Amino acid sequence: MIILGIDPGTIYTGFGVVKYFRNQLSLIDSGIIKTPAVKEMAPRLETIYNELTLLIRKYDPDSFALETAFYGKNVQSALKIGYARGVSMLAAKHNNLDTAEYSPREVKKSVVGNGAASKEQVQYMIKKLLSIRKTKIKFDETDALAVAICHAFKMTSPLKNAGSWKKFVEANPDKVLNR
């Protein structure tokens, strides 16, 4: 399964393309979409849309995942991230890809094991999981890779089809240890 993960932003949009096959992760590509340094939002959004469309056509992913908006104290920032999320979803839809969304907390928990992990901790784990050697890598890039990895783990989780631990145990009694 090839997954395109996105960390949306109106100045920098991070992207990460990973392959997840037989419980093995491998890095295909990652980087940053830097938008034009103009005040108007429309040219920035157009760049994000166009670049994502090119990435989708180049890598032909099976899945498209992005981080949900994080609401902080700055409403304007949340709105701008919402714009970037919208054009990202549109690029996916126009290329017949379903979109999966994960909260920042859920992404951090799946990659680091702690939903309150710092960006540095996420970056460290991404570099270890994907054997990334380059030293200069932006947080937007590692965050996008983390979204892709989170999606890979969620799609292959034994709970995905079961819905809950209780249903999983009921459907798989042979996997339960009895003491």
- 71: its two tokens: 């609401």
Q: Are 1 and 21 in contact (CB under 8 A)?
A: yes
Which conformational region is residue 83 in: left (phi greater than 0), alpha (psi within -120 to 50 degrees), or beta? Answer: alpha
Residues classed as catalytic: 7, 67, 140
Q: Which residue has the tokens 């054009």?
A: 87
Q: How far is it, in rounded angstroms, from Cα 138 to Cα 128?
A: 15
Return the SS3 of 103: coil
- 119: its two tokens: 């960006």
